């Protein structure tokens, strides 16, 4: 739809009353072929790919709040595929490739900006470990380049390069295809396209229990009544263990608060994503000019979406150690999301111990980048009742077989 300047001004004054809705606000039907619990990026992408790739459109996404109101709308939007193990590299790189075409696929601008993701080395030892890391990425077919201190000075001039720097910058490495995307747009774009294909998106609809028969799940109880379905996908991030408890099994997950911070907008100063494992801080600059800052977990289990003060202090002091010139910057906002942490920092993906229940969780601090591939593989698993080859190694059975995929070192700051 095209708007003249006059009609745009009119819409702004009347609160955009006449703009078409991006997705239908559906009322729940009594039965669906597939029910997805959780309207974050993974749930919405799953619904979209079920309809688009598999022709399954009698699907409901049930969201207890508003879509994207969980971690999908709370994260720092970093997209990368700089993992160590072949299984993770193949999965996350598939996700980056889907991100590369996502604005066109959804006809919705998700503002994917491949500005490059830099990991800093603060010592010779850091650099040796990063050489190993960058080589592992290349062996997995993922782009990576080691950077010298001089290259770093030209890429990120605002870092502290003085001889007295607490954490001297000796180099690092870059994944040039890494970057950021607009988180809300990813949720809204998938929601709009899924809705257009016939998926029902139902907000303010909390799943409060499950209907189990002799042959597995046969429905869900919700705050808007009972809904029947023999296939239920769980994409509830930090609340996955609560749903598993209702189904009578336990997940090896712990929920923690992870915080993020946004500064007042300033002129362009940082056109890369920069992460320092030593200070425990990473940051990027948004298109609006705000610095988007992330750090480590609040290190105790919690369902609070606020976060504690010691972490605020650790992140801000870490940022100032890296960028002393930001000391006069004012913070605009701070918040937290409830993330689902697994011991080996690898997601849990597969059929649950209850027939008809499909799991997609354990993304911890890094599942935004995984949304397109997570939805793609989850849709395949639900449609075909077998794991997609890209997620076959991520099943629950890895905890009994001892086949853990330990990606803690590549999980950024918090894991
Ligand atoms: P969510 O977006 O949390 O969606 C789950 C939904 O389920 C929620 O909307 C919730 O309301 C709903 N729900 C829960 N229980 C029920 C119920 N009983 N009934 C109905 N609905 C229910 N990842 C990256 O890749 N890059 C980053 O830079 C990054 N930074 C992060 C920074 C922060 C501060 C946080 C908190 C996370 C960050 N992450 C990052 C992680 C990323 O945000 C998550 O892994 C990802 O968004 C998970 O998506 P999801 O769809 O699984 O979960």
Ligand 1 atom at minimum distance from 67 CA = 9
Asked whether 339 and 260 are in contact (CB, 8 A), the reply is no
Backbone conformation region of residue 146, classed left if phi is above 0, alpha if psi is from -120 to 50, else beta: beta
Write the residue with the smallest CA distance to atom 23 of ligand 1.
366
- Closest ligand 1 atom to the C-alpha of 340? 45
Compute, in angstroms, the gap from residue 294 CA to the centroid of ligand 1. Answer: 15
- Of 238, 287, 271, 246, nearest in space to 118 by CA: 271
pLDDT at position 411: 79
CB 318 within 8 A of CB 295: yes
Q: How far apart (Å, rounded) are the C-alpha atoms in residues 399 and 275?
A: 30
- Centre of ligand 1 from the C-alpha of residue 216, in Å: 27
Tens digit of each residue's pLDDT, the chain (415 residues):
566 888 888 888 888 887 889 999 899 999 999 999 999 999 999 999 999 999 999 999 999 999 999 999 999 999 999 999 999 999 999 999 999 999 999 999 999 999 999 999 999 999 999 999 999 999 999 999 999 999 999 999 999 999 999 999 999 999 999 999 999 999 999 999 999 999 999 999 999 999 999 999 999 999 999 999 999 999 999 999 999 999 999 999 999 999 999 999 999 999 999 999 999 999 999 999 999 999 999 989 999 988 999 999 999 999 999 999 999 999 999 999 999 999 999 999 999 999 999 999 999 999 999 999 999 999 999 999 999 999 999 999 999 999 999 999 887 776 5
Dihedral angle computed from the Cα positions of residues 249, 396, 383 and 104, in that order, rounded to the nearest 10 degrees: 120
Pocket of ligand 1 (CB under 6 A): 37-43, 62-65, 69-72, 74-78, 206-207, 235-237, 239, 243, 258-260, 294, 337, 339, 363, 365-369
Which tokens is 193 given?
A: 């396209």
Q: How many CB atoms lie within 10 A of CB 285?
A: 22
Ligand 1 atom nearest the C-alpha of 62 is 20
Instruction: Tell me which of 64, 70, 342 to substitute to probe ligand 1's pocket, judged by most ligand atoms within 8 Å of the beta carbon.
Output: 70
Nearest Cα residue to 57 out of 46, 67, 66: 46
Ligand 1 centre from 221 Cα, in Å? 22
Tell me which of 62, 71, 247 to substitute to probe ligand 1's pocket, judged by most ligand atoms within 8 Å of the beta carbon.
71
Torsion sign, CA atoms 306, 307, 312, 318: negative
Minimal-distance CA residue to ligand 1 atom 37: 75
Q: Tell me which residue of 307, 334, 322, 60 sits closest to 203, measured CA to CA.
A: 60
Inter-residue contact 209 to 242 (CB < 8 Å) = no
Helix (DSSP H) and strand (DSSP E) numbers for the chain: 11, 19
What does the alpha-carbon distance between residue 86 and residue 366 come to, in Å, rounded to a whole number?
Answer: 17
């Amino acid at each position: 739809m095209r708007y003249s300047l006059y009609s745009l001004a009119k819409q702004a004054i009347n609160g955009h009353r006449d703009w078409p809705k991006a997705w239908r606000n559906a009322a729940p039907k009594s039965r669906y072929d597939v029910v997805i619990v959780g309207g974050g990026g993974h749930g919405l992408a799953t619904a979209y790919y079920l309809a688009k790739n598999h022709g399954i459109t009698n699907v409901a996404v049930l969201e207890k709040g508003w879509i994207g109101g969980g971690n999908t709308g709370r994260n720092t939007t970093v997209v990368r595929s700089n993992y160590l193990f072949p299984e993770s590299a193949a999965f996350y790189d598939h996700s980056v490739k889907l991100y590369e075409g996502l604005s066109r696929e959804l006809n919705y601008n998700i503002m994917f900006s491949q500005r490059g993701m830099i990991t800093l080395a603060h010592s010779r030892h850091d650099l040796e470990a990063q050489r190993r890391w960058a080589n592992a990425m290349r062996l997995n077919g993922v782009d990576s380049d080691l950077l010298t201190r001089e290259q770093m000075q030209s890429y990120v001039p605002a870092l502290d390069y003085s001889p007295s720097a607490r954490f001297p910058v000796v180099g690092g490495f870059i994944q040039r295809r890494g970057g950021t995307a607009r988180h809300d747009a990813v949720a809204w774009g998938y929601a709009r396209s899924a809705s257009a294909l016939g998926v029902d998106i139902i907000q303010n609809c909390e799943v409060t229990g499950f209907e189990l028969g002799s042959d597995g799940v046969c429905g869900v109880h919700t705050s808007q009544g009972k809904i029947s379905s023999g296939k239920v996908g769980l994409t509830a991030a930090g609340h996955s263990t609560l749903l598993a408890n209702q189904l009578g099994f336990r997940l090896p997950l712990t929920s923690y608060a992870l915080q993020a911070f946004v500064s007042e907008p300033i002129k362009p100063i940082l056109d890369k994503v920069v992460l320092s494992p030593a200070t425990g801080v990473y940051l990027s600059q948004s298109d609006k000019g705000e610095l988007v800052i992330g750090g480590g977990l609040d290190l105790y289990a919690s369902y609070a979406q606020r976060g504690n003060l010691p972490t605020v202090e650790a992140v801000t002091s870490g940022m100032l150690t890296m960028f002393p010139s930001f000391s006069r910057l004012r913070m605009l906002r701070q918040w937290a999301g409830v993330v689902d942490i697994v011991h080996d920092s690898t997601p849990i993906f597969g059929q649950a111990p209850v027939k008809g229940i499909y799991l997609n969780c354990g993304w911890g601090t890094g599942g935004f980048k995984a949304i397109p591939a997570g939805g793609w593989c989850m849709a395949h698993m639900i449609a075909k009742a077998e794991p997609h080859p890209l997620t076959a190694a991520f099943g629950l059975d890895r905890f009994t077989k001892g086949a853990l995929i330990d990606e803690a070192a590549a999980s950024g700051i918090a894991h």
